[in-house]
Amino acid sequence: MYKKIIRPMLFKQDPEKVHDRLTRLGRFASFTKLSRLVRGMFVYKNEKLENEVLGIKFDNPVGLAAGFDKNAVLTDFMPDIGFGFVEVGSVTAHPCEGNPKPRLHRLVKDKGIIVYYGLCNEGADKINKRLEGKKFRIPVGVSVAKTNDKNIKGDASVEDYFSGFMKMKDIGDYITINISCPNSGDGCSFENDKLLEALLKKIEKVRKKEIIFMKISPDLDKKKLDKIIELAGKYKINGFVISNLSKKRNGLTKDPKLKFPGGVSGKHVAKKANSMIEYVYKKTKGKFVIIGVGGVFNGQDAYDKIKKGASLIQLITGMIYGGPGVIKKINKELVELLEKDGYSNIKEAIGGEYKT
């Protein structure tokens, strides 16, 4: 029904307008009895999918990736369509309008999206106020990033990042430091190891028990990736979110929309993200928890990431192309794949590709 009727209607409209309308609908549904109906249709439970990661209990491993719920207005709705966890944001210290529109474009042939939002969000103060003291039904992560303002650079960018982190660190179950936004005015400045280390040092001084992930780009070269892994180990980062959008366009099908700037999501990212998951998992012998992201459209896509070393997976594009039913479908298919391979629980399958 989604693919045959709803998607063709939605795909005729401007993607950002569709996103905003669906966000309003989701908010409305969560305030009304509609949520119970939605839950009955979309939630799938199976104890084979339950796992505890870093002390956090997950009913299933499928999460909403950062960027869909930038202002954290859908934390009540997302459990109703079956997600096992959500990551809100990316949130920045200061509110940000983002880049000029249009800034979302569908690449239908490649099952992807060009994203050029530029970290638009209401800012850490307002989002903190919205979430402070709130009880969530599923685990919630908060993605933080540096404010997208090219005039904030050098030491000031470390201060800005740190201030966003401080404002959000007590919300939810974990924090992700997004060092890989391809669309901010200053590029990926926190892939610069000096700035990154300055930030991690500041965080180390105030850190209590916060669980911290780092989100990285699929386009990193080995040298940069190795340095980031080294810093993550030194500053006791718990894990990596692999990966963000890709800036690279090679291999994409010809499309007039390729004239627009932005990072690309979906199928285009899957292979790169998967080889990065494999690299990090093998190099560090599974020391870091990995959240695998990029081009998950079905159970097999999710399972591939898990077998390569991801404990959890996230998606956005799979839901845009497959509709909200895709989360249940992925979870059901995951159970079938686990059973086929003789696993009694998902945790046995993590990194399963390398076990004999």
Ligand X SMILES: Cc1cc2nc3c(=O)[nH]c(=O)nc-3n(C[C@H](O)[C@H](O)[C@H](O)COP(=O)(O)O)c2cc1C
Q: Which listed residue (118, 141, 239, 294) binds ligand X by CB under 6 A?
A: 294
Q: Does 215 bind ligand X (CB under 6 A)?
A: yes
**Is 181 an annotated catalytic residue?**
yes
- Ranked by CB distance to ligand X, the top (closest) residue is 67
Q: Does 290 bind ligand X (CB under 6 A)?
A: no
Q: Does 175 bind ligand X (CB under 6 A)?
A: no
Q: Which listed residue (29, 62, 168, 315) binds ligand X by CB under 6 A?
A: 315
Minimum Å gap between C-beta 91 and ligand X is 9
Minimum Å gap between C-beta 264 and ligand X is 9
- The neighbour count for residue 292, using CB atoms within 10 Å, is 30
Binding window for ligand X (CB under 6 A); candidates: 155-163, 192-200, 263-271, 276-284: 263-271
Calculate helix-pair angle for 34-42, 15-31, nearest 10 degrees. Answer: 110
Expressed in angstroms, the distance from the first to the final Cα of the chain is 42
Task: List phi, psi (to 5°) of 82.
Answer: 100, 0
Q: How many CA atoms lie within 13 A of 132 on its CB side?
A: 8
**How long, in residues, is the chain?**
356
Minimum Å gap between C-beta 342 and ligand X is 28
Minimum Å gap between C-beta 121 and ligand X is 7
3-state secondary structure of 96: strand
Answer positive or negative: Cα dihedral of 43, 90, 121, 6: negative
Q: Give the amino acid at 227.
A: K
What is the pattern of x (binds ligand X, CB under 6 A) and - over residues 230-249?
--------------xx----
Closer of 35 and 172 to ligand X (Cβ): 172
Q: Does 177 bind ligand X (CB under 6 A)?
A: no
Rounded-to-integer distance, Cα 266 and Cα 333, Å: 19
Q: Does 213 bind ligand X (CB under 6 A)?
A: no
Q: Does 307 bind ligand X (CB under 6 A)?
A: no
Closer of 35 and 74 to ligand X (Cβ): 74
In the chain, % helix, strand, coil (3-state, to 5) comes to 45, 15, 40
- Tell me the number of residues near ligand X by CB under 6 A: 27
Closer of 140 and 293 to ligand X (Cβ): 293
Q: Does 164 bind ligand X (CB under 6 A)?
A: no
What residue ranges in the chain does DSSP mark as E strands? Answer: 51-53, 56-58, 62-64, 85-92, 104-107, 112-115, 140-145, 174-178, 212-216, 239-242, 263-264, 289-293, 312-315
Answer positive or negative: Cα dihedral of 147, 185, 292, 192: negative
Segment 61 to 120, residues that bind ligand X, using CB under 6 A: 65-67, 70, 89-90, 104, 113, 115, 117, 119
- Catalytic residues, which ones? 181
Residues that bind ligand X (CB under 6 A): 65-67, 70, 89-90, 104, 113, 115, 117, 119, 143, 178, 215, 244-245, 265-266, 269, 293-296, 315-318
